[in-house]
Chains A and B, each alone.
Chain A
Amino acid sequence: MSRNRGSGNGVFFQRTVFLMSLFLVLLFTSYELLETPPKDFIAVKIIGFKREDDCFSIALFLKNNSSGKHEGHLIFLIGYEGSRVSEDNAFYCFTNFRTLGFRTVTLNPGEGVKLNVKLPMDPEAERIIIAYCWDASETVQTGYYSPVLLRRDDTVWVQTWIG
């Protein structure tokens, strides 16, 4: 390359710095925006609880704070002595629980559903866990008495102690 217009006085350097910096910052910004975390989430909460003569009444509120439709199972688990919940960043594991039943719940985008659940008394039961799981591969069987493994990203759960 021969010395020509702009060389030797920093003009070419200046152009290179500004154009390349702008290009790299544009790339960086695009990358950051592609990495945008999801804004959507599902929430479940207990909004009321009462012990009645022959059952427990639990009022739940499920809310779909997302732009997509969610169809999932509401799973009722009864925990007995020695029941244990453990979690890591991939799964929830419910050990020594009995699956009391399940119900399919569909949540439209932005929809919140109030559910009144009545569960029968069980003198040996210590706690009740209600999990909402929208993992399509998850199958639920009533009366199942063994560790239940639910994918963390597809599950929300609440619990109350009754023992």
Chain B
Amino acid sequence: MGSNLDRLKHQDWYLISVFSIALLLRMIPPLKYGLPYGFDVYEFVSRVFVLNEEGSVSMPHGPLFYYLQLVVLKTVSYDMFMKILIFVEPLVFAFFILPPYFVSKQLKTEGNKPVYTLLYLAVTNLFVHQVGGVVIPEGLGILFYGLSILFSMRALTRSWRWMLPAMLSSFLTAMSHHLSAFQLTLFFSSLFLSYLYYYLKQEKTDSLLRLLVLMFSTIVLLLASSAYVWSLAGEEENMLRLILNMVLEKPFLLLLIMVIMFLFPIVTVKTAGFVKKYPKFTFIKTFMSVLLVGMLIPVALTLMLHPDALPTILWFTVPISLGFLPFTIHGFIQYCKKSSQYDSLFFTAPLIVFMIEASALLSLGDYRVLIHRIPTFIMFFAAPLAGYGLSCFSSELRSMEKEYLAGMMIAYFIFSLASTSYPKPEFTYGIKESISYSELKLAEDAYSYSLLFNSKIDTDTRLGALLMFVSRRNAFWTGNLTSWFLPSNSWLVNVSVSGETYPVEKDVLIVISNAMMEAYSGRVVNLITKPSGPLRKEAIDYLNNSPGIDRLEDVQNGAIYMFSPWKRLNQSDNGFSSRWLKP
């Protein structure tokens, strides 16, 4: 035992400590709540139950996640499946952060310590949340997105044959998550255009030409498989379809895209060349300017476009602007300086295209809210640069005192990144992400009542996901709209948006939770892209005091209301003894 421990190198201890951090952070929600974290997962798993019963159901984002869950469910019992979903899958997803670590190991530059990249991947709030913290198709999509990047890097630096696993991984990305597939399409398009320009201007080799052909094939494959997933899922929540809709609505966009495609490779090659030659980039200057820009731009844009999102933006942006961004830019500059233009294009081209994408999204009215989905992908791609930036920074420290002070500061930056992984409702527009046992019970009973009274159920997206989960998608939920832009027309949504109450329909159960109420800093969740607000005191007073509206159940965290339910039932049944709700 002792000799085995002795054999562990320092590097192994670092890896063990990083994985301990990654696993600890991802296990916080399961240990804290004892239930799957976030409400999306209930919606997704409800579809797995339908598949398990050999029913037909759409699979938003892509089918792979659902079928993998189905394999688990078919293999073990329901109880074991839930335990695996709650306690094991976050741990498995934690290992999905590995591809950028291997990208970092590929960097040929001197002084690079890939374990820093792994540290960033283990702690950065957006990764902790999206890869492991919540178990959703995006985590799976990010794994294949990262693998595609890794394989394409190997194809560019080692052998074109690595493009074949890159193509397979791209296909799996499209099968897993539409947004990951879209980001990957942008990634490959940027590489294709930039390396094509590089090929035409500087290096006309057969191997690069072969690589360009394969890259173009990968883009076609990605688009074709994304379109296939779109037709399979049959839902509006598909990035490719969204872009097509945008182009159809605003045809000038097509012209703009063509102009960008023409200018893009020139910009990337020139940028890489400029960064390589410009001598005045020091870490301090980079840190100060990135801190300024990284804080000022998001805050100013938020105040202009969505002032109510400021707490959310600050919650995520401050730690990222302090701990991640300056080191990424420093790493990027140093990498461009120390490597060939051919190598540096691999990072320059995608980073520029992602910036163009973010700017384009911000300028597109209703669609600008989608900007919140993009940073995870950009940062996942840029993590090797952040790790490299930190490596360069550490090698510039010339004394033990400086190393100690800088080490402590960086540890606090790392802590700030980690501790902002699971924001409270005050920092998420009032959306409570965790689910409680009482809310699950409320959803179960709402479904039982709806069967007894033959009624619809009006509740928000958050409790609706639970309703779909407990009813195996059989409940008649009036707010069951999964598309991004169609407004929901339920009583709860309308009242929360307008602040005005109006009579409830007679055959609808209204299910409310404390998480929707203004008194609890909550909000009626109506998907992030749709308008909604909190349930105000007036709405609660209306439900409690309007003649005829019964309060059927109270579970401390929420309640169920309905207009004259027993009158309807007794009229149709002439007595309750045979038509009780099963306890």
Contacts and interface: CB of A to CB of B under 8 A. Distances in A.
Interface residues of A, number: 65
A24 B415 contact: yes
Nearest to B398: A8
A25 B581 contact: no
Contacts, number: 202
A1 B400 contact: yes
A54 interface: no
Contact of A25 (B415, B555, B579): B415
B375 interface: no
A13 B392 CA distance: 12
A43 interface: yes
Interface of A: 1, 3-4, 6-10, 12-22, 24-26, 28-29, 32-33, 35-37, 39, 41-51, 57, 59, 61, 63, 65, 83-89, 112, 114, 126-127, 153, 156-161, 163
A158 B551 contact: yes
A89 B520 contact: yes
The 9 closest A-B pairs by CB, nearest first: A16-B407, A20-B411, A10-B394, A45-B553, A13-B403, A7-B400, A49-B566, A47-B581, A41-B438
24 contacts: A6-B400, A12-B403, A12-B407, A13-B407, A13-B410, A20-B407, A21-B21, A21-B411, A21-B415, A21-B418, A24-B412, A36-B33, A37-B32, A39-B34, A42-B555, A42-B556, A45-B581, A49-B570, A61-B583, A88-B537, A89-B519, A153-B556, A158-B554, A161-B550
A80 to B, nearest CB: 12
Nearest to A154: B556
Interface stretch (B12-20, B186-194, B311-319, B503-511): B12-20
A84 B545 contact: yes
Contacts of A42: 555-556
Contacts of A59: 576, 580
B577 A48 contact: yes
B32 A50 contact: no
A39 B437 contact: yes
Contact of A45 (B113, B403, B552, B566): B552
A49 B576 contact: yes
Contact of B550 (A29, A46, A57): A46
B410 A65 contact: no
B123 A21 contact: yes
Given A8-B399, A20-B407, A43 B555 contact: yes
A25 B19 CA distance: 12
Interface in B1-36: 14, 17-18, 20-21, 24-25, 28, 31-34
A12 B400 contact: yes
Interface majority SS on B: helix, strand, loop or mixed?
Answer: helix
Given A44-B553, A57-B576, A14 B14 contact: yes
Nearest to B390: A17
A48 B583 contact: no
Given A1-B401, A25-B24, A84-B545, A13 B119 contact: no
Nearest to B449: A45
Nearest to A45: B553
B404 interface: yes
> What interface size band does chain B fall in?
35 or more
A57 B577 CA distance: 10
Given A32-B32, A65-B441, A160-B566, A41 B25 contact: no
Interface string B451-480: 000000000000000000000000000000
Contacts of A86: 541, 544
A98 to B, nearest CB: 17
Nearest to B554: A156
A39 B24 contact: no
B340 interface: no
A158 B552 contact: yes
Contact of A18 (B14, B401, B547): B14
Contacts of A32: 28, 32, 422
A15 B537 CA distance: 54
Interface string B383-423: 00000000100110111110110111011101100110010
B437 A65 contact: yes
A33 B119 contact: no
B540 interface: yes
A89 B570 CA distance: 35
Most chain A Cβ neighbours within 10 Å, of B403, B576, B581: B403
A10 B576 contact: no
Given A16-B408, A85-B544, A86-B541, A41 B24 contact: no
The interface centre, meaning the residue of A4, A7, A37, A48 with most chain B CB atoms within 10 A of its CB, is A48
Given A61-B583, A88-B519, A157 B554 contact: yes
Contacts of B519: 88-89
A161 B566 CA distance: 10
B307 interface: no
B258 to A, nearest CB: 46
Contacts of A61: 581, 583
A60 to B, nearest CB: 10
A100 to B, nearest CB: 17
Contact of A14 (B394, B412, B541, B550): B394
B438 A65 contact: yes
B554 A22 contact: no
- Chain B CB count within 10 A is highest, among A1, A6, A17, A39, for A17
A140 to B, nearest CB: 18
A39 B520 CA distance: 18
Contact of A13 (B397, B436, B557): B397
Contacts of A160: 550-551, 566
Interface string B535-565: 0010011001101111111111100100010
A35 B556 contact: no
Contacts of A47: 580-583
Nearest to B400: A7
B234 interface: no
Q: Most B CB atoms within 10 A — which of A35, A37, A161? A: A161
